[in-house]
Amino acid sequence: MIERQGEAIVLRVWPFQEADLLVSLFTREQGRVKGVARHAMRSRRRFGGALEPMTHVRATYAERPKQELMRLDAFEILSSPLSRPIDYARTAALQFVAEVVEEALPEQAPEDAVFRLVLAVLDQIQVGKVWLPVTYFSLWMSRLMGWMPELGRCVVCGLVLDPRHGGGETVWYSATSDGVTCADDRRGGSVALSADSVGEAVRIFRGTVGELAKEDWPKSRAADLRRFAVETLERHLERRLVSARALGRA
């Protein structure tokens, strides 16, 4: 048995065999793993409130030979989403981050860049301020997974569409096809992404979420960009994100 200790983020928790809980963890060193928290429903001494989804913890756990599930021994809370006010939109945003990580990452594949992205975004998801971190996370998650198309050039004719180079025009994308196109080459059922939103994407890929969060980001700002980012994730995950639908109702 190999004893381990390190940073982790709680993604999901399920009831499992009497008073035990099955926990999905995103660890910094081993990526996404699953483990059993024995008697966690009866005793709060080892875990306490550390089993709330999206809690950043220092986890003590053990790998058992020839077994997929880890043995979870104790969690120390480093930061908790419950330490700040909660409302519907913030809860949905936290669930969105957890669901994307759960679905996108294979088990036991370390992704330090994704781990740092999640921590940075969690710090900015606050009541009344969820739309920028959700948009930022969605775009960067697609880029880190290799799913983000080039937004500055038509995939069909090669026309430069980047507003920084004088394109300044709407680009078009399809939920079923790769890349973006100019208006002349748009495919059937394509959806528009405004030049202003393409410009916002450029800023997001160049800046930090903390810097951008100093600006006012209501739900209406770059809404088409957020839709594009979420649909890009869903296309590559090959499933609808339940939490994205919940966010849409916020």
Chain segment 64-73, per-residue pLDDT in tens: 887 889 999 9
Does 163 score more than 60 pLDDT?
no
Own/partner pairs for 37-45, CB < 8 Å, 24+ apart?
37/72, 38/71, 38/72, 41/15
Q: How far apart are CA 45 and CA 47, in angstroms?
A: 6
pLDDT at 168: 59
pLDDT at 106: 94
pLDDT at 40: 79
The topology (CATH level 3) of 2-82 is OB fold (Dihydrolipoamide Acetyltransferase, E2P) (2.40.50)
CB–CB of 4/61 below 8 Å? Answer: yes
CA 225, 226, 231 angle in degrees (round to 5)? Answer: 100
What average pLDDT does the chain have? Answer: 91
Q: How far apart are CA 123 and CA 212, in angstroms?
A: 13
CB–CB of 164/196 below 8 Å? Answer: no
Does 63 score more than 70 pLDDT?
yes
List of residues 6+ apart from 116 with CB closer than 8 A: none
> Which band of pLDDT confidence, cut at 50, 70 and 90, is reported for residue 140?
very high
Sheet holding 180-181, edge to edge: 180-181, 171-173, 191-193
pLDDT at 45: 65
pLDDT at 166: 47
More confident residue, 238 or 49: 238
Nearest one of 56, 62, 63, 64 to 25, comparing CA atoms: 56
> Which band of pLDDT confidence, cut at 50, 70 and 90, is reported for residue 49?
confident
Does 108 score more than 60 pLDDT?
yes
